[in-house]
Structure 1
Amino acid sequence: HPDDRAATMHQAARVTAGELQRHFRNRYIHRDGHSVDIQWSARWLPEYGVRIGVAHEVTELRRNERELEHRASHDILTGLPNRHHLYTELQYAIAHAAETGDGLAVLYLDLDGFKEVNDRGGHGTGDRVLREVGQRLQQGLRQGDLVARVGGDEFVAVLPGCRDSRAARIIADDLRARLGSPCTLPDGPFRPDASIGIAFFPRDGTDAETLLAHADRAMYMAKRRRQERLEKG
């Protein structure tokens, strides 16, 4: 495989340089065009001046490994990154923002009225709505942004390069508008909505945990203000 050629040559050079045995993997392009994963065991025999390599195809094994890796870092229901993956990516985004000064915003979203969905149609219906919400959030973000599911009906969006409240609010309002299209439930439509809290690096925190906590608090404040407005009529 072209992407593995340099690494393969490096491994071969290490064997030739005298390392007794090397185990490594690479990919080859099959003659019909698909990629094949190969596990190598290579050994240099200096007394004969030859390099011996034994290859085993491990395409299915590698496919299973990739699936397990994906499951470990993604939410099974929605396919979105999970909390663990979010923390990793947010730490990278913080480091990049600190180095470049490009700015960074974090949106914490909690669905409003989601209990009604489960009450009306059961958990299967709720799962369907969560999958739809996840897709709408992904479609509403910019290239390079990230959205993760971090709890039952809670999502977090990471917005690299977003440095001011106006830009973040525009994105948040657009996400709410996208969520507002009705989902069809067995007993009628349901319009998803969300309360959204926003935190900015470095103003509201310089590490992942602090930023998420600040955005979470801001989300609950937004939810409380909306409830108060509804109560006042």
Structure 2
Amino acid sequence: MPTSLPPLSEVLDLLPDAVCIVDESGRIQFVNATFERLLGHRLAAIKGHPLFDYVHPEDREATAHQARALMAGGGQRHFRNRYLHRDGQAVDLLWSAHWLPDRGVRIGVAREIGDMRRAERELEYRANHDPLTGLANRHRLQQALEDALQQAQARDGHVSLLFLDLDGFKDVNDRGGHEAGDRILCEVGRRLQTGLRQIDLVARMGGDEFVVLLPGCSAADATAVAAQLRGHLRAPCALDDGPLQLDASIGIASYPGDGATAEALVTRADAAMYALKRRR
């Protein structure tokens, strides 16, 4: 019996990656079985439809730019975007695409990278957040403070920084141990975020020290915010052996009066906090 090759579509259906072929206007001409499985759309239902209809709305502009660049002889050979599954879920894909002008088609091969994207997001979160409280860490604060200063300098605005050190926190560890101390630090983090604006940022510097970044906030307004936060912190906290009364020493520094760099403001607010603590 003579050997005969199967149709190309049957071969493409065996691939673990999704394959999609669109015409010059971006309308779907072919997808393989993996594409159908990843996105839940059968070829018979979507053939002739614009491929961009299935791209995540937030990624359509960037995807269209990539397609135009590819057809003009440039663009990135590999790029990421998100598509929408038939059930509405976002699917992260890594594409390798090629434009065949003599045939008037664009071919894309995609691999699902959801696990990789989740791992990247987890690493990014860990790099920017305190592992105990979930608040921003020093690195994230530095970035946010530099951004706030840049905007304030461009608009002749203000930035204020509150540097907080808890008063009485040593009693927590003495009375309940480190586990109780961790619970109180998490509670303090939640209280500090109460009543702040969405653009404000609370960061844990380490130990029982916290910083609150107030973009667009003058020194006078920052003083009022500091008083409000002290009120939140002074509400009794519950320990196993009874209530605990906390307070905080809060140093304030504001741009432009107290410095024009992130380092200068942090140093000034830190010094103001320690000066207040010594007076107490």
TM-score normalised by length of structure 2: 0.77
**Paired residues of 1:129 and 1:183 also in contact (CA < 8 A):** yes
Give runs of aligned pairs for residues 94-109 of structure 1, distance below 5 A: 94-109=149-164
- Distance of 2:71 and 2:154 partners within structure 1: 41
**Which residue of 2 is the match for residue 207 of structure 1?**
261
Structure 1 residue 131 displacement after superposition: 0.5
Structure 1 residue 60 displacement after superposition: 2.3
SS of aligned partner of 1:137: helix
Which structure would you say has the larger Rg? Answer: 2
- Say whether residues 1:40 and 2:95 are aligned partners: yes
Percent identity at matched positions? 61
Structure 1's unaligned 5+ residue stretches are 227-233
Could you give the per-residue CA deviations for residues 138-159 of structure 1, whole angstroms, max 9, x where no partner exists?
Answer: 1132231111111111111111
Structure 1 residue 49 displacement after superposition: 3.8
Instruction: Give me the CA root mean square deviation.
Output: 1.4
Instruction: Check 1:19–1:97 CA distance in 2 against 1; reply closer, same or farther (3 A cut).
Output: closer
- Say whether residues 1:176 and 2:230 are aligned partners: yes
**Paired residues of 1:19 and 1:44 also in contact (CA < 8 A):** no
Could you give the per-residue CA deviations for residues 4-43 of structure 1, whole angstroms, max 9, x where no partner exists?
Answer: 0010011111221224861111111211122111111112
- Distance of 2:246 and 2:123 partners within structure 1: 32
SS of aligned partner of 2:271: helix
Give runs of aligned pairs for residues 17-32 of structure 1, distance below 5 A: 17-19=72-74, 22-32=77-87
- Say whether residues 1:192 and 2:262 are aligned partners: no
Moved more, 13-22 or 206-215: 13-22
**Paired residues of 1:25 and 1:39 also in contact (CA < 8 A):** yes
Give runs of aligned pairs for residues 78-117 of structure 1, distance below 5 A: 78-117=133-172
**Paired residues of 1:91 and 1:208 also in contact (CA < 8 A):** yes
SS of aligned partner of 2:198: coil
Could you give the per-residue CA deviations for residues 106-151 of structure 1, whole angstroms, max 9, x where no partner exists?
Answer: 1000011211111111111111100000011011322311111111
Instruction: Check 1:143–1:162 CA distance in 2 against 1; reply closer, same or farther (3 A cut).
Output: same
**Paired residues of 1:43 and 1:53 also in contact (CA < 8 A):** yes
SS of aligned partner of 1:196: strand
**Paired residues of 2:70 and 2:99 also in contact (CA < 8 A):** yes
Structure 1 residue 92 displacement after superposition: 0.5
Runs of 4+ in structure 1 off by over 3 angstroms are 45-49
Question: In the alignment, residue 124 of structure 1 is paired with which amino acid?
Answer: E
- Distance of 2:224 and 2:260 partners within structure 1: 23
Could you give the per-residue CA deviations for residues 36-69 of structure 1, whole angstroms, max 9, x where no partner exists?
Answer: 1111111223454432110111122211211110
- Distance of 1:7 and 1:205 partners within structure 2: 39
Structure 1 residue 222 displacement after superposition: 0.8
Structure 1 residue 94 displacement after superposition: 0.5
Give runs of aligned pairs for residues 106-185 of structure 1, distance below 5 A: 106-165=161-220, 167-185=221-239
SS of aligned partner of 2:235: coil
- Say whether residues 1:62 and 2:117 are aligned partners: yes
- Say whether residues 1:50 and 2:105 are aligned partners: yes
Question: In the alignment, residue 64 of structure 2 is paired with which amino acid?
Answer: M
Question: In the alignment, residue 199 of structure 1 is paired with which amino acid?
Answer: A
* Aligned length in residues: 225
Select the structure that is richer in helix: 1
SS of aligned partner of 1:205: coil
**Which residue of 1 is the match for residue 35 of structure 2?**
none
